[in-house]
Amino acid sequence: MTTQWHMLTLIGEDKPGIVAAVTRALFEFGLNLGETSMLRLGGNFTVMMMVSGEHNEAELRDRLKPVIEAQGMCLHIDPIKAHLHEHLVPNIQVTVTGADRAGIVAQVTSALAEAGFNILDLESDVAGTADKPVYIMQIAGVADVAVEVIERALVPLREDGVDVNVSAIETYIG
Partner 1 sequence: MAILEILTLPDDRLKQVSEPVASYDDELRAFIDDLEETRLNGPAAVGIAAPQVGCFRRVVILDCSATRKPVPNHGRLVLVNPEITHWEGYEMGREGCLSVPDYTGNVIRATRIRLTAFDADGAPLEFDMEGYEARAAQHEIDHLDGMLFVDRVVSRRTDLFKRKVYQKGGKP
Q: What residue ranges bind partner 1 (CB under 8 A)?
A: 39, 85-87, 89-91, 95, 97, 121, 123, 127, 134, 136, 138, 147, 163, 168-174
In the complex, the smallest distance separating the C-beta of residue 112 from partner 1, rounded to whole angstroms, is 18
In the complex, the smallest distance separating the C-beta of residue 110 from partner 1, rounded to whole angstroms, is 22
Name every residue whose Cβ is closer than 8 Å to that of residue 115 and which is 6 or more positions away in sequence. 143, 145, 149, 150, 152, 153
Distances (CA, A) of 20 to 51, 77, 162: 15, 19, 41
Q: Please say which residue, 2 or 171, places its beta carbon nearer to partner 1.
A: 171
Q: Which amino acid is at 14?
A: D
In the complex, the smallest distance separating the C-beta of residue 70 from partner 1, rounded to whole angstroms, is 28
Q: Please say which residue, 48 or 77, places its beta carbon nearer to partner 1.
A: 48
In the complex, the smallest distance separating the C-beta of residue 173 from partner 1, rounded to whole angstroms, is 5
Q: Please say which residue, 81 or 85, places its beta carbon nearer to partner 1.
A: 85
Q: Please say which residue, 54 or 86, places its beta carbon nearer to partner 1.
A: 86
Return the C-alpha torsion angle 152, 154, 159, 164, nearest 10.
Answer: -110
Helix (H) or strand (E) holding 85: none
Q: How far apart are alpha carbons 80 and 92 in whole angstroms?
A: 28
In the complex, the smallest distance separating the C-beta of residue 167 from partner 1, rounded to whole angstroms, is 10
Q: How far apart are alpha carbons 174 and 64 in whole angstroms?
A: 42
Q: Please say which residue, 35 or 69, places its beta carbon nearer to partner 1.
A: 35
31 burial level (CB within 10 Å; 0-12, 13-18, 19+): buried
